Amino acid sequence: MKNLVTEKKLRNQYIRDGEHPFVILANFVFSAKKANWKNEEIASIVLQAKSNDYKGFVNVLKLYIKT
């Protein structure tokens, strides 16, 4: 899978297996805003992630996290 929205990646962002999607999303959005990402980038990633089941949701967000 390729990053469709941006090539940017968040650092020090962790996703625990089984964690509630709202918590994962809130942490992701907070970290992205702190890293000065544009609101349009964040909204596109969130929309892309929310259009999947839990596993797909996590996989989309992991595309934008530096491991």
**Domain ranges in the chain?**
37-67
pLDDT at 27: 96
10 Cβ partners below 8 Å, 6+ apart?
28, 31, 32, 35, 64, 65, 66
pLDDT at 17: 85
pTM score = 0.88
Q: Considering the chain, what is the average pLDDT of its residues?
A: 91
